[in-house]
Amino acid sequence: MQPTSEKKAGTRLAGLPQAIAARNPGLPLDMDWVMSAQANTSAIERRANTIGARRSVKKEHQAAWLLKAVTLIDLTTLAGDDTPGRVRRLCAKARHPVRQDLLDAMNMRPITTGAVCVYHEMVAPAVEALQGSGLGVAAVSAGFPAGLSPYRLRLEEIRESVAAGAREIDIVISRRHVLTGNWQALYDEVRAFRAACGEAHLKTILATGELGSLRNVARASLVCMMAGAEFIKTSTGKESVNATLPVSLVMMRAIRDYHERTGVRVGYKPAGGISKAKDALTYLALVKEELGDDWLTPHLFRFGASSLLGDIERQLEHHVTGHYSASYRHAMG
C-alpha cells in the first residue's frame, strides 16, 4: 500500500519540517488598494458551500491527504493550567504524531507536525523538548487573546518570546482599529510587532469573528500583509465564531491578490473549531483550488488545532484495519 504517492496526494508529503518561506518585507500602506477591497457575501457563501461537496477523496487518496494534513498542524495548547510536563508531552506527540504501527502498515516514513504553539511561559520547555527535531515553537503574544494590554508590554512580550527561542510569533491585532476604519493605526501596530519579532516570523491573528463583516476581513488582511506579516490567521480560538470557510475564502483571495501584485507569498492559518479530519480535507481542497499546490506546505499553510490530530489518527487506523478505535488510543500526550 502506498497512500503517500505524490500523484495521489496531489502534492508531496514532507518527511521533515520545511523552512518557513522567505520573509515578507511589506510595503507602504496603500489606502487606494485597501479601500477597493470588497466582499460579495452571498457569492462567497455560495462558493464556500460547494467546496466540501465537490471535492471528495476516498481510500488511499484520503489517507495520503490526511498524512499531509498532519504535517501542517500547529499542535497547540493554550490552557490556563498548562504545565511544563504537559508541554513536553505535547512536544513528544509533535515529534511522533502518528503511531508507528500505522505508518509501517502504510509504508510511510516518519513525519512530524508543522510546529508547536504555546503561551510565552511555556516557550522554554517547548524549545528544550524539541531540540534536534527541526520543529519550531510558535508563541502567542501581544496581549493574546484580547489584544488590550498596554502597547509597550505587547511589544516586550514579543521580544521576550523571541529571546526564549520562539521562531514564530502569533500576535493578535487590536480589533478596534478595524471596527473604526483606522487602517493607518492597524498598519503601524503590525509594523511595530514585525520589527519586534527580529528574525522570528510574524503571524497576525485577525479574530475574524469580531470584525463585523467580510469586507473588514478582506481589508484587514491586506493591511497586515502590507505591514510585513508572514502569515494571516483567522482566530485566537477563544472567540464565539472562529475559522469558517467564507472567512477563509476571503483571506485566501487577499493572499492571492497580494502575491499577484507583489510576487510575495504570505501564509494562511485557520484556527479554532477545526477538530474533524473531514474538515481538514475541505480546507486543503480550498487551499489547492484558491492558492495552488505551492501553499500546501508547512511554510505557507498551518492548522491551528489540538484535537484535530486525534481524529486524523482514528481515520488512519480505520484505513489500515477497517475498524474505528477509541480516542484514548490516540492521546495527545
User: CA–CA separation, 231 vs 81, rounded Å?
Assistant: 28
Decide: 63 and 305 in contact? Cβ < 8 Å.
no
Annotation marks residue 233 as catalytic: yes
Catalytic residue among 74, 170, 279, 311: 170
Q: Where are the alpha helices (DSSP H) in the chain?
A: 6-9, 31-36, 41-54, 59-70, 84-95, 100-105, 123-129, 151-163, 175-179, 183-197, 214-226, 245-262, 277-290, 308-321
Decide: 92 and 129 in contact? Cβ < 8 Å.
yes
Catalytic residue among 93, 233, 279, 311: 233
Compute, in degrees rounded to 10, the torsion defined by CA atoms 85, 311, 201, 193: -80
User: CA–CA separation, 201 vs 191, rounded Å?
Assistant: 12
Catalytic residue among 93, 269, 279, 311: 269
Neighbours of 145 (CB within 10 A): 16
Annotation marks residue 269 as catalytic: yes
- Strand arrangement, sheet containing 136-141: 267-269, 231-233, 201-205, 168-172, 136-141, 115-118, 73-76, 303-305
Query: Cα-flanking dihedrals φ and ψ of residue 181, to 5°?
Result: 70, 25
Q: Closest by alpha carbon to 218, among 196, 251, 179, 262?
A: 251
For the record, the C-alpha cell of 272 comes out as 479554532
Residues with active-site annotation: 170, 233, 269
